[in-house]
Amino acid sequence: MSDIQELTFEVAFEELEAIIERLDSGELPLDESVNLYERGRKLATRCQALLDEAELRVQKLMDDGSLEAL
């Protein structure tokens, strides 16, 4: 597993979906389920941060299509 802070939105979201599927199966030992849940929470936080950052950039978009410096 790679460092979550280095993942793109798409990669983090794909991994999060895979974790959700595995947890939904109900066939994992408790310890593995807890570990996957913890990683899933971190992935969800990463995805949310990336979405927030993208939203901020869109809000800063100037009328002429250029980005305002942050």
pLDDT of residue 61: 77
Residue 36 belongs to some domain of the structure: yes
Give how many domains the chain has, as a whole number. 1
pLDDT of residue 59: 79
Q: The CATH number of the domain where 40 resides is what?
A: 1.10.287
**Helices (H), ranges, the chain:** 9-25, 30-59
Residue 52 belongs to some domain of the structure: yes
Of 5, 37, 32, the C-alpha closest to 19 is 37
Task: Please give the residue range of the domain that contains residue 10.
Answer: 4-59
Q: What is the pLDDT along the chain (70 residues), one digit of tens a residue?
A: 579 999 999 999 999 999 999 999 999 999 999 999 999 999 999 999 999 999 888 877 766 667 665 5
